[in-house]
Structure 1
Amino acid sequence: MLFSRLLSSTPRHLLNIGLAFFLLLLILLFVNSFHSKDLRESLIQPLHLVSNLPSQKPTQLQSQPTPDRRCNAIPSSPDVAVIIKTGANLIYEKLPIQLLTGLQCANDPLIFSDLAQTLGPYRVYDVLEDVSEDIKQSSDFDYYRQLQEFQRFGQDLRLLHDRAPAWKLDRYKFIHMLKKSWNLRPGHDWYIFLEGDTYILWANAMLWLQQFDPQTPYYFGQQSYYKNEPFAHGGSGIIISRGAMEKVLGDDPEFSPRYDKLAKEEVYGDYVLMKALQEKGVTLSPYKPILQGERLSTLRFGPGRHKDERYWCQPLVSLHHVTPSDVEALWQLEQQQQDLTRPILFSDVYNHFMAPQLPHDSEDREDWYNFSEDAVFKPPGEKPGRPIPESEMTPVQEQAYQSYEQCAAGCAEYHRCMQYSYEFLTQQCSYSFSYRLGERRPPTSDGTRYKSGWLMTKINRDIQENKCSSLEWKGFHSDM
């Protein structure tokens, strides 16, 4: 009765519309059930990409207008090719935010991984496909074969989260990345090689590279050391000029197989890359701190560990281990620059990111580790840390391990100490000669607990005494 009264009181045109929508819904449900099996099957099928043959001319993405003001801010910008090295188990975690922000200015970047894929409009190349077959038969490539199998059966690649086998495979990528970059993007002035979690400050990089002749064989990087030999740390970014690429990748058909064998014997692929460049007479030009292996929270400011180092008036070009929030924050900083032809300096990064986060009501913070590690004091009988010179040791320094308060007192007394941290379980007191922000470290179940402090009077005095009167486009050479 109620239902019939409701129908009689409802306008006829509304009833007709409702009936039409109901019939349309039934039709859609029928079509969906008919095709759902085919749809499910198609979703798990891997993409069939054309093999990356060196002789093929790659299809260039059409350059799209971008609102990113950095891209055309530097007159006569160098002609650069950007190459990103990543892994199939991490590509979705690290790369999308980079392509949406920091790498918007990169024209058709090359993406190399251990599996051929697509990422939106971007083609991802299998950089290991040309590794020597005898090397591929080794256990190092078990993970590579597992990746192919996961893709073949439509399994979630993120489940392969064990980093150890991926790291073992990574050292084979560098030589083939170099060769494929030259084949797929020949003739550029500069080749900028980045990791998926390396952020590059675009305008700074363009202003820097403008100062060099790309026809000269250059190999730039932040120096790391292995076997007492310097090589460019891959995570900080490696930059190679056209002149160096031409010199290294000349008529040498055994180039790749020879270095595949070396990669199998060594630990670090970026070290193997250095050996290949060195063989052809191209040596490293070290550019720490302009190229950086640190992320925002661990970046040094002010004095360095060595007395001839200072992190302040140099432009910052790259950072490593950046999180998605780091990437977003750095991109916003670049967008906010009024004059993009003025480089962003270490001092700017300090004022923008670190200074506002330092404690204002006190000079210390509970459950915080500020990466003080330049001098370490431990209880007697413990394995020695990294002490200050014995000639500078005072009774206060000798007792610095006993409590947080004594650690703080020792730092205040020591002329080079800018900040300190104390770990209560092991009674370890540590000093830093730079100022660094650090990160929150909640107490652990075994009793490990940190507390950190900054000597703001010293820090502010150091800043006042070191105004940037000129830019310092130079690198340090002392970091063994």
Structure 2
Amino acid sequence: MTAGYETRRPRCRYCLNILLILVLEIVVCFHVLASIHSPAANPSPSLGVKPTAEVTGQHESADPDFRLGLDDVVLVIKTGATELLQKLPVHFETTLKRWPHVVLLSDFEEEVDGHQIHDALDIVSEDIRKDRPDFELWRRLKQSGRGALVASDIESGEQIQWVATAEGNRQAGWHLARFMNLPMTVKAQNYRADAKWYVFIDADTFISWSNTLRILQHLDHTKPHYLGSQVAMGPGQFFAHGGSGYALSQAALSAVVDRYLSERELWDRIADEGEFGEVPLALALMISSIPLTWTFPLFQGGKPLDMNFAGFKHGRNLWCYPAVTYHHTSREEIIDLAEFEDAWNSERRADRPFHHSDVFRRWALPLLHRSGEDLDNLSEELVEGVENSRECQASCHKSQSCLQWSFGVGECRIDSGYPRVGVSRPGYTSGWSLDRIEELVKALDRQCEDGIFV
């Protein structure tokens, strides 16, 4: 239930709240400057800022029983009453069958298909819960249950119904989502304080249990670690994108729980004034001298049906790295990816992690051989003067760099960037240049170093 990171006009109501945030920002800047000018700092040549403690290491052959390591990990799935019935049930038949310790956190306590969903917000400061307009949905649910939901509250697939309020437009559940991240750490600790690791995902996130373990086994849980896919929140300051997933070691979680519980009113006000719940969490960790360890491209904010597997960002080729998470995944995609992971580990006895390249080659690429009827592969370059799908295919063939084409609503589009499976769309026809894609795969393989892990 992670919101999109578009820019919105900031809300400003209470001068005291703004003052508290300004004081906090000064403290954070002091910590950042101290770390940057420390002799131990290791500036990134590509970004010009401290990349924090990069996880490095060669992958090893895993013990066949390494699944037992999951006993030391708590998985937290974040959701909300407005989306839960659409997004969460698939995890009952996939994720919960693979992870032994899972906490389901929402903005409303209920039981669904025999699984207990816990309210993460019942420990937020009482004055905010009782008086803030953003908690109107929470109060309604508390009083009348799921029957209190109205049509404008509900998320339907990817079509979110936005509600106009005095403070701007937001889907009802997103009013509450930004308050959840810090309370979720408390709930996770209450569930199991002796766990070594705590991993947090959204309800529409696929997570690989085996690749998660392969990362965590390289790290000491008694040291403070905060792992996630980085999003900038200021100069030299980053938070972990919630939809991509993030992980906290026992030491890090204990530190942030202690800070939140001792300064709860302050942190709840900061969440109230902000837009994204991941930011207060990152600030609380930063003040505790726990910076973000970047895990991109292992933790992904995209979905494999339309993502750029050939992408290069922050000095890393996505193709060459293990796949830990994918975000915005549908029910069918989560099931398919879970089955893919099971097959991979069964065939290879879990002797190495599967990479994004493996997901493309063994899961996405076979889909490109199917019929492209009623499918839009999201090609981008418009070709004028094309009247049908056959002519569109010919246009792609004439362009030596074209990898795929699509024809729909009277338009032909081709693409030389990267191949995508695409999305179902009646009336569209799509196709791919499979020979060229095979050559691209070979070229991408040559860019990867043996043994690269994180």
TM-score using structure 2 length: 0.71
- Cα distance, 1:411 vs structure 2: 9.5
Match in the other structure for 1:268: 276
Cα distance in 2 for partners of 1:432, 1:149 equals 55
For 1:439, which of 417, 423, 445 is the aligned residue?
423
Cα distance in 2 for partners of 1:343, 1:197 equals 22
Match in the other structure for 1:155: 147
1:51-200 map, 5 Å: 73-74=65-66, 77=69, 79-136=72-129, 137-151=131-145, 155=147, 160-161=153-154, 163=160, 164-200=171-207
Partner amino acid for 1:155?
G
Structure 2 vs 1, CA of residues 429 and 91 (structure 1 numbering), >3 Å: closer, same or farther? same
Confirm or deny: 8 A CA contact 1:112 1:127 kept in the other structure.
yes
Match in the other structure for 2:265: 257
- 2:195 equivalent to 1:211: no
Of 89-98 and 317-326, the range deviating more from structure 2:
89-98
Match in the other structure for 2:452: 472
Stretches of structure 2 lacking an aligned partner (at least 5 in a row): 1-61, 161-170
Query: How far does the alpha carbon of each residue in 1:256-294 deviate from its partner, in whole angstroms, 9 at most, with x for none?
Result: 221211111111112232222222222112212211122
For 2:336, which of 329, 343, 368 is the aligned residue?
329
Cα distance in 1 for partners of 2:258, 2:226 equals 16
Q: Find the residue that maps to 2:426 and give its secondary structure.
A: coil
Of 326-335 and 405-414, the range deviating more from structure 2:
405-414
- 2:271 equivalent to 1:278: no
Structure 2 vs 1, CA of residues 418 and 271 (structure 1 numbering), >3 Å: closer, same or farther? farther
Cα distance in 2 for partners of 1:255, 1:335 equals 43
- Cα distance, 1:156 vs structure 2: 7.5
Of 455-464 and 168-177, the range deviating more from structure 2:
455-464
Confirm or deny: 8 A CA contact 1:305 1:434 kept in the other structure.
no
Q: Which has the larger radius of gyration?
A: 1
Identity percentage of aligned residues: 29
Structure 2 vs 1, CA of residues 101 and 407 (structure 1 numbering), >3 Å: closer, same or farther? closer
Cα distance in 1 for partners of 2:78, 2:277 equals 12
Match in the other structure for 2:33: none
Of 79-88 and 222-231, the range deviating more from structure 2:
222-231
Match in the other structure for 1:248: 256
Greater relative CO, 1 or 2 (CA 8 Å, sep 6+): 2
Structure 2 vs 1, CA of residues 360 and 333 (structure 1 numbering), >3 Å: closer, same or farther? closer
Q: Find the residue that maps to 2:147 and give its secondary structure.
A: coil
Match in the other structure for 2:363: 353
Of 340-349 and 260-269, the range deviating more from structure 2:
340-349
Structure 2 vs 1, CA of residues 408 and 262 (structure 1 numbering), >3 Å: closer, same or farther? farther
Q: Find the residue that maps to 2:339 and give its secondary structure.
A: helix
Stretches of structure 1 lacking an aligned partner (at least 5 in a row): 1-69, 378-399, 444-449, 475-480
Confirm or deny: 8 A CA contact 1:408 1:453 kept in the other structure.
no
Structure 2 vs 1, CA of residues 185 and 167 (structure 1 numbering), >3 Å: closer, same or farther? same
- Cα distance, 1:209 vs structure 2: 1.1
- Cα distance, 1:245 vs structure 2: 1.6
Partner amino acid for 2:144?
F
1:268-417 map, 5 Å: 268-301=276-309, 303-304=310-311, 306=313, 308-336=315-343, 337-338=346-347, 339-359=349-369, 365=372, 367-372=374-379
Q: Find the residue that maps to 1:312 and give its secondary structure.
A: helix
Q: Find the residue that maps to 1:179 and give its secondary structure.
A: helix
TM-score using structure 1 length: 0.67
Confirm or deny: 8 A CA contact 1:368 1:451 kept in the other structure.
yes
Cα distance in 2 for partners of 1:435, 1:204 equals 25
The Cα RMSD (Å) is 3.3
Cα distance in 1 for partners of 2:64, 2:89 equals 22
Cα distance in 2 for partners of 1:334, 1:347 equals 13
Confirm or deny: 8 A CA contact 1:218 1:241 kept in the other structure.
yes
Match in the other structure for 2:436: 458
